[in-house]
Amino acid sequence: MNESEHAENNSATPNVKYKSSVFSKLFSDPEILRELYSAIEGIDLPKDIPIDINTLSNALIRGKINDVSFLLGDRLIVLIEHQSTINENMPFRMLEYINRSYKCMVDNKMMLQRKLVKIPKPEFIVLYNGTAPHDDYKELKLSDAFKDTEGLKAADKPGLSLELVVQVYNVNHGHNKEILDKSKTLDSYSFFISKIREYEAEGLDLAESIKSAVQYCIRNNILEDFLRKHGMEIIDMLLEEYTYENALLAERMAARLDGLQEGIEQGLEEGREQGIEQGREEGRIENSKYVLDLITQGLSLEQIKQQLQNNNP
């Protein structure tokens, strides 16, 4: 959808403070979830199928809960995560979420019954709208994380006893048009995020970019009611989300650079040609403070990447 058509983690350390996200706040209405699920699944979910939102308030990872979880009737439980970076450990994270969800549905006494206890079938979805290139659709499997068991199992025995598949959809504009066309709310949210990035690219700082995007969308009837009602809260939430993402980026880059430095020093100390060569090739950035400095200057993720490339050709 163009502007004319619009008219305009992974840390295990818990934080007891509940922090919602703009995405989870926007998609906290059952009818909006009906629209979203219908678009993703490619069906028209009947109006008489009840939607019961059961997002886990106690499934905390760095203060973040799972974004959206809901029951369709009592037959299907859907867990949806919104991400601007792809976490290859999402299947393991979803495993934790679904385990906690089932514990809320089935008590210990029911599990001791001899008769089979029926539970809702799970479905795991990630909606990606980051800046890094990504396929329209990809599957992440829990089994990809399993260690090799060759020599520990007989060849004729079943090789896989547990699996969990996460469906990842790229919902940036220009991707999965069928889904965005069918879900007006998701399409508008995707446009809103792209507008923030557009203002950043024009040179505005993050806070001004978010404010300008909010004002633009309100003027042009894009998420107008939602943004009018929660405008200042949305700005604060997005600033916190972006700061959180940049902090994770800094941690990852700092760890990478520290690892490179350690490898270089080890290579030089032991006289390993490979370590020395790695130091010559990748050791031009002296330490992780450079990355942190870029973040404190207010540079975006793409600008940081460009700076790193410029300093490490």
Nearest to 127 by CA among 152, 90, 89, 92: 90
pLDDT tens-digit readout, 201-243: 999 998 899 999 999 999 999 999 999 999 888 888 888 877 6
Helices (H), the chain: 3-6, 22-26, 30-41, 90-105, 108-111, 177-182, 184-201, 206-219, 224-270, 273-282, 289-296, 301-311
Summary mean pLDDT of the chain: 79
Average pLDDT over every residue of 97-106: 89
User: What does the block give as tokens for 21?
Assistant: 């996200």
With 80 as the cut, is the pLDDT of residue 62 above it?
no
CA distance 252 to 117: 43
Predicted pLDDT at 251 = 55
CA distance 51 to 35: 11
Compute the C-alpha angle 133/136/140, nearest 5°.
Answer: 90
Min mean pLDDT across 104-118, 124-138, 150-164 is at 150-164
Q: Using an 8 Å Cβ cutoff, are 210 and 200 in contact? A: no
Q: Which residue has the tokens 């990447």?
A: 305
CA distance 260 to 255: 9
Mutual angle of helices 184-201 and 30-41, in 10-degree steps: 90
Domain ranges of the chain: 1-145+161-222, 235-313
User: What does the block give as tokens for 205?
Assistant: 């700082």
With 50 as the cut, is the pLDDT of residue 93 above it?
yes
More confident call, 69 vs 270: 69
Burial classification of residue 236, based on how many CB atoms lie within 10 Å of its CB (0-12 exposed, 13-18 middle, 19 or more buried): middle
pLDDT tens-digit readout, 164-212: 999 999 999 889 999 999 999 999 999 999 999 999 999 999 889 999 9
User: What does the block give as tokens for 189?
Assistant: 């949210």
Predicted pLDDT at 300 = 58
Predicted pLDDT at 7 = 39
